[in-house]
Amino acid sequence: MDSVLVENLTQGGDTTLYYPDTVLTLVLTGIDQFLTGSNNFYVSQNYPNPFETKTNIDVFLPECDDITIDVYDLLGRKVANYEGSHESGMQHFTFFGGNSKNYILTVSSKKYLQYIQMIQFGEVSSGLPYLEYNGSTTMNSIKIKQKSLQSLFPYNLGDQLKFTGYVSGDYISITDNPTTSQEYIFDINHMVPTTPTAGTHITDEDQIEWHWNTVADADGYKYNAVNDYTSATDNGTSTSYTQTGLACETNYTLYVWAYNSCGTSSSLELNEQTSDCPSSFICGTSTVTYDGVTYNTVQIGSQCWLKENLRTTKYNDNSSIPEVTDPSTWTSTTSGAYCCYGNDPSNCVTYGALYNWYAVNTGKLCPSGWHVPSDAEWTTLTNYLSANSTYWCGSNSSYIAKSLASTTSWNSSTTTCAVGNDLSANNSTGFSALPGGYRNSSDGSFDGLSGCGYWWSSTEIRWQQSLEP
Per residue in 414-457, pLDDT (tens digit) is 999 999 999 999 999 999 999 999 999 999 999 999 999 999 99
Residue 32 has pLDDT above 50, yes or no: no
More confident residue, 418 or 188: 418
CB atoms within 10 A of CB 416: 10
Structural domain spans, the chain: 27-154, 202-273, 288-467
Instruction: Output the pLDDT for position 287.
Output: 94
CA angle 227, 231, 236 (to 5 degrees): 95
Average of per-residue pLDDT across 69-76: 91
Least confident range from 120-134, 142-156, 442-456: namely: 142-156
Distance CA 152, CA 205 (A): 70
Q: Do domains 27-154 and 202-273 have the same CATH topology?
A: yes
Cα 227 to Cα 286: distance, rounded to the nearest angstrom = 43
- Of the chain, the percentage scoring pLDDT greater than 70 comes to 87
Of 27-41, 156-170, 211-225, 448-462, which range is least confident?
Answer: 27-41
Residue 29 binned pLDDT confidence (cut-offs 50, 70, 90): very low
Return the pLDDT at 377: 95
Indicate the pLDDT class of residue 190, thresholds 50, 70 and 90.
low
Cα–Cα dist 59/46, whole Å? 10
Query: Domain 27-154 is in which class?
Result: mainly beta
**How confident is the prediction for the chain on average, in pLDDT?**
87
Mean pLDDT, range 318-339, rounded to an integer: 97
What CATH number belongs to 202-273?
2.60.40.10
pLDDT tens string 207-224: 999 999 999 889 999 999
Is 70 exceeded by the pLDDT of residue 229?
yes
Three-class SS of 202-238: EECCCCEEEEECCCCCCCEEEEECCCCHHHCEECCCC
Is omega for the bond preceding 193 within 30 degrees of 0, making it cis? Answer: no
Q: Is it the case that residue 463 has pLDDT exceeding 80?
A: no
Residue 27: the pLDDT is: 38
Do 52 and 121 form a contact (C-beta atoms < 8 A)?
yes
pTM over 0.75: no
Q: What is the pLDDT of residues 251-305, one digit of tens each?
A: 999 999 999 987 899 999 999 999 988 777 899 999 999 999 999 999 999 999 9
